[in-house]
């Protein structure tokens, strides 16, 4: 949140995505666009940059779109979150972190709803619900207030529930004149094929490692360039994920020590982490051990930090158990699940002399 605040509420396009913007503006001419790529690289901000460009009132007449000027009335209205021809649709749970007040559902129209709700401990919805899509349909049918175009930015598209996706389908099929849709997300196989087929797809480029690491070193106070590299690898090369994991307690200097600490039964630092982060970390370790077991390079941990890999059968079994758990790690009934149990299991898998789990 703090890094977001420093950038202002309408974050500019991430540096690793800037080179791709002009190409996207040149090629994306459909009324409906589907942006996809790995999570944690900035689909939403890229979609917003497209919307800004399409709505920018300083575009030269008759020629191709350029990135938004950032100075015209339209750009200022987007910065203020009050452009009448832009509709941003996000699940409640993402509104605060993306710095955007969704104007989709009926309760989405006023105030700092997300903060208030989370303050009371109310569970914020992870879904895009049909009420939000009904508002989109209605928005699409109005004429553009500023006479230029209208844009609907919907993120993450795969979070539309089935009813919501079906409700959107007809408007995507026969869009009213001036409206353009940007759907973005990272799990597009979870999206209805009928929705996918109505959109022009655009794959976001993978962040270039050096650019991503130097951004991360700037974004996280006190993080050296070397530590930024470690943190970036720990997040599978996704810079936004890396920053978020750091905020959850992942320490770049501790990360390479985790495998050996686990083997020795000393990984007590992990007990203060949220359960989903522990599960994810163990999944990454399991993945990397499987890589080294077949002679491939690890992806998340430095090769030198990994113990000798156990037999693949054992890793497969562990991986299956972790995957099952990861699907439900955020469920309240898992709150009582002891991280210690998971750590013991990890130790047992990696150290053959200790008795096997289960
Ligand atoms: Zn402008």
Three-state SS annotation for the chain: CHHHHHHCCCCCCCHHHHHHHHHHHHHCCCCEEEEECCCCCCHHHHHHHHHHHHHCCCCCCCCCCCCCCCCCHHHHHHHCCCCCCEEEECCHHHHCCCCCCCCCCHHHCCCCHHHHHHHCCCCCCCCECHHHHHHHHHHHHCCCCCCCCEEEEECCHHHECHHHHHHHHHHHHCCCCCEEEEEEECCHHHCCHHHHCCCEEEECCCCCHHHHHHHHHHHCCCCCHHHHHHHHHHCCCCHHHHHHHHHHCCCCCCHHHHHHHHHHCCCHHHHHCCHHHHHHHHHHHHHHHHHHHCCCCCCCCCHHHCCCCCCHHHHHHHHHHHHHHHHHCCCHHHCCCCHHHHHHHHHHHHCCCCCCCC
Side-chain-side CA neighbours of residue 239 (13 Å): 25
> Does residue 321 surpass a pLDDT of 60?
yes
> Does residue 312 surpass a pLDDT of 50?
yes
pLDDT, residue 256, reads 96
**Ligand 1: centre distance to CA 84 (Å):** 15
**Ligand 1: centre distance to CA 42 (Å):** 21
* % the chain with pLDDT above 90: 66
What integer is the mean pLDDT of 73-93? 93
Please tell me which residue, 284 or 124, carries the higher pLDDT value: 284
Which residue in the block uniquely carries the two structure tokens 């749970």?
93
Domain spans in the chain, listed from the N-terminal domain onward: 2-203, 209-350
Report the distance separating Cα 306 and Cα 262, nearest Å.
Answer: 11
What integer is the mean pLDDT of 214-226? 93
pLDDT, residue 357, reads 55
pLDDT, residue 10, reads 62
**Ligand 1: centre distance to CA 78 (Å):** 9
pLDDT, residue 172, reads 92
What integer is the mean pLDDT of 318-347? 81
> Does residue 9 surpass a pLDDT of 50?
no
pLDDT digits (tens, 9 = 90+) for 174-206: 888 789 999 999 988 899 999 999 999 999 999
The pLDDT-based confidence of 334 (bands split at 50, 70, 90) is low
Please tell me which residue, 138 or 249, carries the higher pLDDT value: 138
**Ligand 1: centre distance to CA 71 (Å):** 5
> Does residue 167 surpass a pLDDT of 50?
yes
pLDDT, residue 328, reads 76
> Does residue 6 surpass a pLDDT of 60?
no
**Ligand 1: centre distance to CA 53 (Å):** 7
**Ligand 1: centre distance to CA 336 (Å):** 51
pLDDT, residue 158, reads 94
What CATH architecture applies to the domain 2-203? 3-Layer(aba) Sandwich (3.40)
pLDDT, residue 106, reads 37
**Ligand 1: centre distance to CA 13 (Å):** 14
Please tell me which residue, 355 or 212, carries the higher pLDDT value: 212
Report the distance separating Cα 36 and Cα 205, nearest Å.
Answer: 9
The pLDDT-based confidence of 99 (bands split at 50, 70, 90) is confident
**Ligand 1: centre distance to CA 160 (Å):** 30
Peptide bond just before 25 cis, omega within 30 deg: no
**Ligand 1: centre distance to CA 299 (Å):** 41
**Ligand 1: centre distance to CA 67 (Å):** 8
- Determine which of 66-70, 81-85, 104-108 has the lowest per-residue pLDDT on average: 104-108
**Ligand 1: centre distance to CA 74 (Å):** 6
């Amino acid at each position: 949140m703090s890094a977001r605040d420093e950038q202002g509420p309408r974050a500019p396009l991430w540096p690793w995505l800037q080179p791709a913007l002009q190409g996207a503006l040149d090629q994306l001419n459909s009324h409906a666009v589907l942006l996809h790529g790995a999570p944690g690289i900035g689909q939403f901000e890229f979609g917003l940059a497209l919307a800004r460009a399409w709505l920018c009132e300083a575009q030269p007449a008759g020629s191709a779109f350029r990135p938004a000027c950032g100075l015209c009335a339209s750009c200022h209205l987007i910065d203020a979150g009050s452009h009448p021809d832009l509709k941003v649709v996000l699940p409640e749970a993402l509104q605060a972190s993306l710095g955007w007040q969704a104007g989709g559902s009926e309760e989405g129209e006023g105030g700092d709803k997300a903060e208030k709700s989370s303050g009371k401990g109310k569970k914020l919805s992870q879904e895009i619900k049909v009420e939000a899509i009904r508002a989109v349909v209605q928005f699409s049918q109005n004429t553009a207030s500023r006479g230029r175009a209208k844009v609907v930015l919907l993120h993450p598209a795969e979070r539309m529930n089935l009813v919501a996706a079906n409700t959107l389908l007809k408007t995507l099929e026969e869009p009213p004149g001036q409206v353009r849709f940007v759907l973005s997300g990272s799990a597009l196989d979870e999206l209805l094929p009928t929705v996918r087929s109505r959109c022009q797809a655009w794959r976001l480029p993978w962040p270039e490692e050096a650019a991503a690491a130097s951004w991360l070193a700037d974004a996280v106070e006190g993080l050296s360039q070397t530590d930024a590299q470690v943190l970036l690898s720990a997040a599978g090369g996704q810079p936004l994920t890396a920053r978020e994991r750091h905020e959850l307690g992942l320490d770049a200097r501790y990360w390479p020590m985790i495998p050996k600490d686990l083997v020795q039964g000393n990984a007590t630092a992990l007990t203060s982490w949220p359960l989903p982060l522990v599960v994810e970390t163990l999944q990454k370790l399991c993945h990397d051990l499987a890589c080294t077991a077949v002679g491939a390079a690890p992806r998340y941990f430095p090769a030198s930090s990994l113990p000798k890999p156990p037999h693949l059968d054992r890793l497969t079994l562990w991986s299956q158990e972790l995957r099952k758990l990861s699907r439900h790690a955020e469920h309240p009934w898992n709150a009582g699940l002891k991280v210690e149990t998971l750590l013991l299991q990890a130790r047992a898998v990696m150290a053959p002399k200790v008795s096997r789990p289960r």
